[in-house]
Amino acid sequence: MTANWYFVMAASLAASFVASVILTDLARRAALRWHFLDQPGERKVHYTPVPLMGGVAIWVSFYAVILGTFAVLALMRQFGDDWLLSQFDATFGDNGAVKLAGLLAGGLVIFLLGVVDDLKILSPEVKLAGQIVAALVLVLSGMRIEMFIFRNIWISSALTVVWVVMLTNSLNFLDNMDGLAGGVSVIAAFSFFLAVQPHEYYLVRLVLVVFAGAVAGFLYHNLNPARIFMGDAGAMFCGYILASVAIMGTFHIESTPSPIAVAAPLLALSVPLFDISSVVFIRWRHGESIMKGDKRHFSHRLVKLGMSPRQAVEFIFLVAAVTGLSGALLARLSQRGVLIVLAQTVGIYLLIVLLMNAGKNGNGANGGDDGE
């Protein structure tokens, strides 16, 4: 990356962070004035009403900086400096603008869906339908998961929809403690950034740094004790953007030692994927609806082991950082090295499962476990 691009990335990151810090505070004041609050409940860990418009600040900051950056670069082209924009064109060829438009259009759909759900709780079926529509927008813009295997357009399109819906819901599920979903999103964004570092994917990097800045600015107000929540509008938007970037970013090219490097997104997003898969399994095993909310998430189980909510969040941040850094290494490793890193990551989560089971058995002996 040249010095010009380092400046663009740093300026975009700073702009989105500052914008988000300011807009999140304004959103908090507006939510208090309009009584747009998340009320305490049986499945929640807060005991007083908390403002619920953080997702609006994240979305506005992201879109404003992304569109503003392109406007500035377009202006530079008018004055004869078209080098930066030529790099955008080289990243995705002639379809780069279409793919970015698909990302922004789908992001708008998922954001509006989340806002409506925050205002008036939607049924799981309606939310799922909206998430599928947002995923299909990506597919229609030309972004599909292939991974050298799924060359059939129908198979790759179906896989893309499943991936986007799963990640959108996984971040929404993970948003259950102060700072958790936002912190994991920022860590995942920087992990993706490092993963694509060997390749000149400037557009993907720009999307990542702007997204990271927007979420980090919100996180300034959301860490324990949280002064505002992102709501479904923010959580689903975070999941959607991370899922989309995983499709946009090519994590393996011919010069990469191992094609298995395409697994980098799975490692960067392993925490929300682990959380949603474990929760769905537990609910299925107990014969309950997989969409029914409860306190069986990764963070909740850590609290039952004796951690405070803040310690549980910090523990999950550490897991996300370790596995994310492992994913960033994949493009630089031989096939044997990639397999070793993947095995290590699986080992980390197996250790966590053993920790959960040991705590469950110990609590069960004291009569305090609920059978998770």
Q: What is the 3-state secondary structure (H, E, C) of 194-254?
A: HHCCCCCCHHHHHHHHHHHHHHHHHHHHHCCCCCCCCHHHHHHHHHHHHHHHHHHCCCCCC
Q: How many CB atoms lie within 10 A of CB 7?
A: 11
Distances (CA, A) of 69 to 66, 198, 244: 5, 23, 20
pLDDT for res 44: 62
Task: Give the three-state DSSP class for 185.
Answer: helix
Task: Give the three-state DSSP class for 69.
Answer: helix
Tell me the C-alpha distance between 366 and 314, whole Å: 27
* pTM, to two decimals: 0.88
pLDDT for res 108: 96
- Dihedral in degrees, nearest 10, Cα atoms 345, 347, 353, 356: -100
Tell me the C-alpha distance between 252 and 318, whole Å: 26
pLDDT for res 86: 61
Tell me the C-alpha distance between 21 and 24, whole Å: 5
Tell me the C-alpha distance between 131 and 146, whole Å: 21
pLDDT in tens for each of the 372 residues of the chain?
555 777 888 999 999 999 999 999 999 999 999 988 877 766 666 667 889 899 999 999 999 999 998 887 777 766 655 555 565 555 555 566 788 889 999 999 999 999 999 998 888 899 999 999 999 999 998 888 876 555 678 888 899 999 999 999 999 999 989 999 999 999 999 998 888 865 667 778 889 999 999 999 999 999 988 999 999 999 999 999 999 988 876 544 444 445 565 778 889 999 999 999 988 888 888 777 776 667 778 898 898 888 999 999 999 999 999 999 988 888 777 888 888 999 999 999 999 988 888 766 655 444 333 333
Cis ω before 265 (30° cut-off from 0): no
User: CB neighbours of 249 closer than 8 A, spacing ≥ 6?
Assistant: 192, 195, 196, 201, 204, 265
Supply 242's token pair: 């991370």
- Dihedral in degrees, nearest 10, Cα atoms 136, 138, 143, 149: -30
Task: Give the three-state DSSP class for 141.
Answer: coil
Tell me the C-alpha distance between 142 and 248, whole Å: 10
pLDDT for res 288: 78
In Å, how far from its chain's centre is CA 355?
A: 25
Distances (CA, A) of 329 to 191, 267, 319: 9, 10, 16
Q: Rounded to 5 degrees, what angle do the CA atoms 60, 12, 325 make? A: 100
Tell me the C-alpha distance between 309 and 298, whole Å: 11
